[in-house]
Amino acid sequence: MRTGEVCALTWDDIDFENRIIKINKTVYCKTKDNKGRWFFGTTKTDSSVREVYICETLLKVLKIYHHYQSNNRKKYKTKYYDYNLEEVKNKYGKVVENRIIELKYKSKQKEKVNLVFVKDNGRYIGTDLIRYPYRIIHHELGINNCRFYDLRGSFATKTLRSGVEIKDVAEVLGHSRVETTENYYVSTTKESKKYVSNVFEKQINKK
């Protein structure tokens, strides 16, 4: 998933029973005012709206994290942050985005949005959530050329090298064209180049 897609997830998007994550929006930052700066909008492209299967490992992690978040809500009680969505319409009255607004005064009339990735006290900081861990990765571990977004490329490379069809990988990534997956998300390493030559040599020796 893209960074904005991950940080836009709500628990309603995660179907534990059928083991599916529904990707249907992204989050982005705009000028901050007294209401906040994070907004939900449409995905990058129409093909980005998709469903991703939850593997066994991820299922366990999400369930543990969901339980952890529930305990934090009990721990912080009234100091736990809650949010709701405010529709933003264009001049024609069409809803173009939804603003994420903190519920400072707990109201039963306003429907809360159950955000997945928040701080322990429930505070939502959007894509800023990954800044601290990547500061550690860059400055303490010394891995400079590394971004959260690069994990998409790692996913594409590893699955394709394991024999998965490129069309299936493209759909999981939300690409409408397999060329995008092939040209921008699959990396070549020295080892993979050696592998190509070794495979060719074995084919020649067989004949």
End-to-end CA distance of the chain: 44
The answer on 168 and 85 residing in a single domain is: no
pLDDT recorded at residue 36: 86
- What residues make up the domain containing 24? 3-125
Whole-structure pTM value? 0.83
Flag whether 13 is in a domain: yes
- Indicate whether 32 and 68 sit together in one domain: yes
What pLDDT sits at residue 199?
72
| Per-residue pLDDT tens digits for 86-107 | 999 999 999 999 999 998 876 6
pLDDT in tens, 59-81: 999 999 999 999 999 999 999 99
112 and 189 both lie in a single domain: no
Q: How many CA atoms lie within 13 A of 193 on its CB side?
A: 4
Tokens of 149: 């977004």
- Select from 166, 149, 148 the least CA-distant residue to 157: 166
127, 119, 120, 113: which is closest to 7 by C-alpha?
A: 127
